[in-house]
Amino acid sequence: MAAPSETFISVDVESAGPYPGRYSLLSIGACLVTNPEQGIYLELKPINRESTDSSLQVSQLSLETLKKTGKKPADAMKQFADWLHQVAPSSKSRPVMVAFNAPYDWAFIDHYFQEYLGENPFGHAAIDIKAFYMGMVGCAWEETSMIYLSPRFLKGQQLPHNALADARLQADLFRKLLAQSRREKVKGK
């Protein structure tokens, strides 16, 4: 699937709003694309009270609850970085973030890594599943939504907006897209 020097990591986040800095990262789910059961789930303390109703409704997370039960952002990002180094040791492999609508997830992950650890273990390596699919089949951007992809690749399953569950479904989707892409590449030769 990946080159020996790459480890694809499916990542999903839930947040208190549309962009980092003003809005808090509330949860992170990540798993190996090749082995989705090997994953991590973290809930974070909010950095402030800023939120949008739609974001909190989607995630079903509570700022009040996370204020009490969430990990401090620095501790959560350290734990996430340690997990990444464990599953993709820098001496053997480089982690590559994979996400469904990666610009959104990437913005929060990169901001929080930079803010709390001073570096992002992913570097600048991220793959957007939607863009990958669009390039693979030549469809319109509108046709990259789960409304189209889930019936075709995930037996109709929708993302439940739990970061780890979403990361696992995204890993399944990406594995299937990679397999299809490789089959078509072989046919084209």
Sequence-ordered strand ranges (E) for 16-119: 25-32, 39-43, 94-99
Per the CB < 8 A criterion, the answer to whether 40 and 25 are in contact is no
Per the CB < 8 A criterion, the answer to whether 14 and 26 are in contact is yes
Distance of CA 25 to the CA centre of its chain: 12
Beta-carbon contacts of residue 118 (< 8 Å; ≥ 6 apart): none
Residues β-bridged to residue 13: 28
Beta-carbon contacts of residue 120 (< 8 Å; ≥ 6 apart): 109, 110, 113, 114
161 a catalytic residue: yes
Report CA dihedral (19, 128, 101, 15) to the nearest 10 degrees. -40
Residue type, 183: R
Q: Of 85, 111, 124, 161, which is the active-site residue?
A: 161
**Residues annotated as catalytic (active site), given as ranges:** 161
